[in-house]
Structure 1
Amino acid sequence: MPQKPPSFAEQLADCRQLAVHLEMRDVYGIAEEEAEFAAWKGGDGGLDPGWAEQRRGWLDLVRSAVARGVVMRRARVVSEPVTDYIRYEHAGTPLNIEAGEDVRWLSRRRASDIALPGNDYWLFDNQIVRFNHFTGDGASAGPEVVGDPAVVKLCATAFEAVWERATPHAEYRI
């Protein structure tokens, strides 16, 4: 029987230098975000003052990692024009940045010649990949943790290629 992978929080706690996240879906259907996303869609598209409290668990994880000296970078490869979900992510990104993440955006058209893994992932210290698997409708299908050096190299190379071309959040217009 396969061993249950460590939680994301455990993996981030073990990380010492670098945690990078590559997101490549245009829509996610994460159950924990449904109410927040619906409220955002029903509002003016701005940042709700309650978002920071709703995301406190995540933001605290980021702050703790950054305080230990971990560099956290997130890159999003998106179709343009962007979906409502990507607009929602864009609206919430200032919270990630305030907590210590660096976030960039890359148009899918500009990523066509980059060899990308088939799934979103986190890469910790260029040693361990945590793939995030999703169902067709965007719900989480659970993680897969991989330490194979060839897979790690593919993910590290892909992320750096995306990062180099991507636009910093403050400059990315949707």
Structure 2
Amino acid sequence: MARHFWKVGTNSGNNGCHPVHPARRRHVRRSGGSRHRPCRACSTGPRRRRVRRHRPARAARELRPEGARARVPSHLISFDEFDGMFTALRHSAWRLESRRRYAWDEQQGTYRQFLADGRVDWDLNDPWCQERREQTALGKRFERVRVVDEPLTEGQRYLLDNARRNAAVGEVIRVLARSKADELGLPCEDFWLFDARVVALLRFDGATRCPASTSSPTLWRCFGTREAAWHHSVPYDELGG
């Protein structure tokens, strides 16, 4: 049986992956006709029927050419499956980041260094940086838009410094003023969009959970968000310029 995880804490600088603990046994929601209310973390579409056993999440397999299957609605995925999506993707990964702070960031030594010195000496040879550099060398794109406040919060200033690290390993980071995001009616949420085929929704409700979705309504909503956010954002190093 597949194991599902709750991610404890939140971050933004890397993939959005956090330390994990096994979740209490939960039912995976799949499309059907029952009348029970879906759990909030899994809800992106019609009501779901309850099944008795966990099913393996298919998100990472959806990203492989040989893994094409019938698309499934939102369901929780494991930490390993989520992390594997960043190497299984064929073309691109795009993220929207809308939170004012990420709790896991604040527990890092780099955060304390930033508060003390105003900048961080980033290790560009750590495992995450090496993997991202390898993936971008294969021609894959990794892009983010970070919604920021005016003035910036402490956590957003930290991530602005962190953007130097992301850019150094091949990511493209842009920022969008929250006032403009509100004007555009963009959702206040975090998600990754992989190859314009799979959405990983990062839900923060005490414990971070990651439903993956291939449902058309969710994909189209995220497409619209991506187009508007990218068009109206600016490169991170032009903020305030």
TM-score by length of 1: 0.86
Structure 1's unaligned 5+ residue stretches are: none
> Aligned to 1:103, what secondary structure does the other structure show?
strand
Partner residue, 1:27: 101
Q: Which amino acid aligns with 1:44?
A: D
Partner residue, 1:14: 88
Matched, 1:5 2:72: no
Once residues 21 and 31 of structure 1 are traced to their aligned partners in structure 2, the CA distance between those partners, rounded to angstroms, is 17
Partner residue, 1:166: 233
Q: Which amino acid aligns with 2:225?
A: A
Q: Which aligned pairs between 1:51-130 and structure 2 lie closer than 5 A? A: 51-52=122-123, 56-130=126-200
Once residues 214 and 195 of structure 2 are traced to their aligned partners in structure 1, the CA distance between those partners, rounded to angstroms, is 11
Number of aligned residue pairs: 167
Matched, 1:146 2:213: yes
Pick closer, same or farther for the CA change 1:104–1:157 going to 2, 3 Å.
same
Once residues 85 and 240 of structure 2 are traced to their aligned partners in structure 1, the CA distance between those partners, rounded to angstroms, is 33
Partner residue, 2:118: 45
User: Is the 1:116–1:155 contact (alpha carbons within 8 Å) kept by the matching residues of 2?
Assistant: no
| Structure 1 residue 83 displacement after superposition | 0.6
Once residues 224 and 159 of structure 2 are traced to their aligned partners in structure 1, the CA distance between those partners, rounded to angstroms, is 25
Greater shift in the superposed pair: 107-116 or 145-154:
107-116
User: Is the 1:5–1:145 contact (alpha carbons within 8 Å) kept by the matching residues of 2?
Assistant: yes
Pick closer, same or farther for the CA change 1:107–1:95 going to 2, 3 Å.
same
> Aligned to 2:128, what secondary structure does the other structure show?
helix
Question: Which of the pair is proportionally richer in helix?
Answer: 1
| Structure 1 residue 59 displacement after superposition | 1.6
> Aligned to 2:150, what secondary structure does the other structure show?
coil
User: Is the 1:9–1:61 contact (alpha carbons within 8 Å) kept by the matching residues of 2?
Assistant: no
TM-score by length of 2: 0.63
What value does the CA root-mean-square deviation take over the aligned residues?
2.1
Once residues 188 and 108 of structure 2 are traced to their aligned partners in structure 1, the CA distance between those partners, rounded to angstroms, is 25
